[in-house]
Amino acid sequence: MSSPSIAVIGAGVIGLSVALRLQEKDHHVTIIAKDFPSPSETVDPRAAINYASQWAGAHNRFCPPRDDIDDALAARDHAMSLVTFDRMDDLARRHPEAGITFMKGVEYLEDPGPEYRSLSPVRAAELGYREFRLYRRDEFPDDRVKMGFEYRTWCVNPMVYCSFLLRRFVRRGGRVVRRELLREREAFTIPELANPVRVVLNCSGHGFGDPNSFITRGQTCVVANECSETVTRQKADGSWTFVIPRNFDGGTIIGGTKEPDNWHSEPSPDVRTRLLDTLASTYPPILQTGGGKMHVLSDIVGRRPTRKGGMRLEKEELGDGRLIVHAYGLGGRGYELSWGVADAVLELLSSGRARL
Ligand SMILES: Cc1cc2nc3c(=O)[nH]c(=O)nc-3n(C[C@H](O)[C@H](O)[C@H](O)COP(=O)(O)OP(=O)(O)OC[C@H]3O[C@@H](n4cnc5c(N)ncnc54)[C@H](O)[C@@H]3O)c2cc1C
């Protein structure tokens, strides 16, 4: 009998990262997905609205765990972001074509929570921040900002990066099947797969009917103005403004909204105006590269696959030797945590009864 293969449902940043890590361990892997990486310029934004990886910024912004309480999930996610940081650093050095750029990340906070207030240079070094520097008050853009700092971080052009991952996967012998599935279990029965499938990885973003899953709508705007750093401002009212350079001719992302359970698929012109004005007042240099104006290329509406209680990272043994591993619900952090999630999936697979 031929050796069993693993089916990965999903060709977003999570499915692709997981599939590549499995290949590194010599597994035969097939990716089954409805959506695959495509140039955003040619994609129908309504048809692909649920494919979050297509519409991400995407930058890495560390979310520091608090030092005064024991929050295992926050600590786990932070550890995953560090794993991802190192892997991105390595990929960027060895593969300039991967769509990754390292740069300065700037953060301004109007109402910093305890996890930020404790962020001294010593604490930042403990948490793995590189090239961290706290800003003086005279470096803040205005009086509403109460804290500011910078560190070394990375951004990706999402579809350049995901296409790079997909090409690597196929060049190493991975197979792809474009299919919409009704349930995870359907992946055990895909006729194109000659080898029996014993393991299915559910990297479907939103899951299959998970009552804890919900969407967080994000509206952003792509401009032609250029920018050499990523800047994020958390406002006191809970809203955000950020700029993310995409590079690789991808323009610059100005964002953005975070709207739980908002299903509107069309971009709002008023929101676009507000996003551009707010960013320009926080970060005026963005206007200089456009001769004093913003040059809008397109609006983006995407749905972050969010989940009450955080991502689902869990092994489900079906009792007949078959296994489903769930890795979905990454919300707004799929790129940031991707390689950490891939490692965690590998650990789940090598533990317990259904050891691979
Ligand atoms: C506006 C916006 C900005 C963002 N900015 C950032 C950022 O700066 N940094 C960051 O880290 N993250 C960011 N994110 C979040 C990030 O995009 C997501 O966390 C990430 O893309 C999730 O990846 P995923 O692979 O889990 O899901 P997805 O990218 O949604 O991929 C899911 C895959 O599963 C497939 N699939 C789903 N259901 C089925 C089915 N029934 N049958 C077959 N295939 C199926 C899909 O076709 C797709 O291939 C942002 C998101 C948005 C919308």
- Tens of pLDDT along 200-238? 999 999 999 999 999 999 999 999 999 999 999 999 999
Q: Is 158 in the pocket of ligand 1 (CB under 6 A)?
A: no
User: Taking the CB of residue 220, how many other CB atoms lie within 10 A of it?
Assistant: 25
Largest CA distance in the chain: 70
Q: At what angle do helices 334-349 and 72-94 cross, to 10 degrees?
A: 100
pLDDT at 1: 42
Ligand 1 contact, 151 CB (< 6 A): no
Q: Is the distance from CB of 282 to CB of 141 less than 8 angstroms?
A: yes
This model's pTM is above 0.95: yes
Stretch (H or E) spanning 147: strand 147-156
pLDDT digits (tens, 9 = 90+) for 280-306: 999 999 999 999 999 999 999 999 999
Q: Ligand 1 centre from 56 Cα, in Å?
A: 8
**What pLDDT, on a 0 to 100 scale, did the predictor assign at position 67?**
85
Residue entry with tokens 């953005």: 256
Cα-based distances in Å from 108 to 144, 173, 225, 290, 346? 10, 45, 21, 23, 36
Domain residue extents for the chain: 5-349
Ligand 1 centroid – CA 123 distance (Å):
32
Q: Which helix (H) or strand (E) holds 22?
A: helix 13-24
State whether CATH 3.30.1360.120 applies to domain 5-349: no
Residues 140, 143, 147, 151: what is their CA dihedral angle, to the nearest 10 degrees?
-20
Phi-psi sector, 2: left (phi>0), alpha (psi -120 to 50), beta: beta
Q: Are 255 and 220 in contact (CB under 8 A)?
A: yes
Helix (H) / strand (E) element for 197: namely strand 197-202
* Secondary structure of residue 309 in the 3-state scheme: coil
The label of the residue with tokens 């930058």 reads 59
- Separation between Cα atoms, residue 86 and residue 130, nearest integer Å: 11
DSSP state of 332: G
CA of 10 to the centre of ligand 1 (A): 9
Per-residue pLDDT of the chain (356 residues; tens, 9 = 90+): 455 689 999 999 999 999 999 999 999 999 999 999 999 889 999 999 999 999 999 999 999 999 888 889 999 999 999 999 999 999 999 999 999 999 999 999 999 999 999 999 999 999 999 999 999 999 999 999 999 999 999 999 999 999 999 999 999 999 999 999 999 999 999 988 877 899 999 999 999 999 999 999 999 999 999 999 999 999 999 999 999 999 999 999 999 999 999 999 999 999 999 999 999 999 999 999 999 999 999 999 999 999 999 999 999 999 998 999 999 999 999 999 999 999 999 999 988 655 45
**Protein residue with least CA distance to atom 1, ligand 1:** 218
Q: Is 217 in the pocket of ligand 1 (CB under 6 A)?
A: no
Please provide residue 313's backbone torsions phi and psi, each rounded to the nearest 5 degrees: -130, 95
Determine the residue of 8, 14, 84, 85 to mutate for testing ligand 1's pocket, defined as the one with the most ligand atoms within 8 A of the Cβ atom: 14
Q: How far apart are CA 25 and CA 346, in angstroms?
A: 9
Predicted local confidence at residue 352, as pLDDT: 63
| Structural contact between residues 292 and 280, judged by C-beta atoms closer than 8 angstroms | no
Ligand 1 in reach of 202 Cβ (< 6 A):
no
Probe target for ligand 1 pocket from 188, 335, 336, 338, with the most ligand atoms within 8 Å of CB: 335
